[in-house]
Structure 1
């Protein structure tokens, strides 16, 4: 089994899900007492969020490159960035680490295509919904995402940072997300991408009859596929 290097802490709420899912999948596939071989580099998310808010993407890239290089020195054989937004600098992290990087948008696009979904609603941080790095990667994989209007993007982003990243799950926030999903369905959405690794804390397949793609779960499954292929 190959060793996976995780860049986490963005937020630790979803990184804990990565740890649990990767180990659970290893046990399910291998049986017995098996668990995943993991190395975790966990950041202080308050520092990362402040740099995001200020638009210091160069500073963020330097932090992520440092993490990728550190994981290689520690013995990792692949890099898993445990957040959608910070895939903005995926290419730089892969180069700095000198290791394969399992890209969350690639595995998400592949799952959408396999399910026959081509115009999914994308619920994510404002950065992921508005910048090109993620949407273009999805389009390259055959998927054309639909995002909420400005008010909707503001709502989704606020709930992620002020609630989900702090472990707060509110019924009223779930209702607000589901209302947005119905609006996007009327605009032509044929599925839903939970494009922030915390959004799965709030909504899941049981909350809508549209196909739901949990990027955290998809990313973990692809990462373990890679680990077990070696």
Structure 2
């Protein structure tokens, strides 16, 4: 099987959850049935959203590119980045290495389409929303992207930065407010377009209406590396 390289640290908790998820989702009866992983938990990568919203902030691309090249040099044959916002710079990262980088956003949108969704809600960082990567991917797949209004977007950022990234529990009432707002927009699927929101899905045991980009990435990585999904 192929060796998987993971550009992590964006954020650290989501990275560890992603690694755990890959192991748990792999159909295996012994150690040797699992895929090899190289996890580079690089917490020095500058904040992606900060740079997207203000180009005078530190550019994360050189560090992301360096990490991808480091993983390739260490023997990674497939690379994943468990950070939706970092996929704003997907082209630069992919062009810097000679091994495939899995595009978690496109894979998740394709999953939504395969499940029959037409109107897809997007919950993500403001940087990801501003970059438009989910919106473009949805349109390319013939889906209608549905975005939260400014108030709900602020609430989403509170959950991501002030709660999950800060190591605090998710405010259940705040999450219910976000959910009701998106349901009122008639979303058939709601994409959790930030890996910190994958932690929220686990904590709050969210139903299948919420499509977890981290799980889609994990399942795709297992298959691309030659393993089987449990």
User: What TM-score results when the alignment is normalised by the length of structure 1?
Assistant: 0.88
Q: Which residue of 1 aligns with 2:16?
A: 16
Q: Which runs of 5+ in 1 are unaligned?
A: none
Q: Answer yes or no: is 1:80 the counterpart of 2:80.
A: yes
Change (3 A) 1:51 1:213: same
Q: Is the 1:124–1:196 Cα contact (8 Å) retained in structure 2?
A: yes
Asked whether the 8 Å contact 2:191–2:211 carries over to 1, the reply is yes
Structure 1 residue matching 2:148: 3-state secondary structure:
coil
- Moved beyond 6 Å, runs of 4+: none
When the two structures are superposed, what TM-score results if normalisation uses the length of structure 2? 0.88
Cα distance, 1:186 vs structure 2: 1.7
- 1:38 is aligned to 37
Structure 2, unaligned runs of 5 or more: none
Greater displacement, 144-153 / 216-225: 144-153
Three-state SS of the structure 2 residue aligned to 1:39 is strand
Q: Deviations over 1:35-83 (max 9, x none)?
A: 3211122222574366566435882111111111111111110110111
Q: Deviations over 1:154-195 (max 9, x none)?
A: 11112201211132113xx23222222222222221121111
- Name whichever structure is richer in helix by fraction: 1
Deviations 1:7-50 (A, max 9, x none): 00111110011110112223xx2322233211122222574366
State the aligned residue count.
224
How well do the aligned residues superpose, as a CA RMSD in angstroms? 2.2
Q: Are 1:107 and 2:107 counterparts?
A: yes
Secondary structure of the structure 2 residue equivalent to 1:166: coil
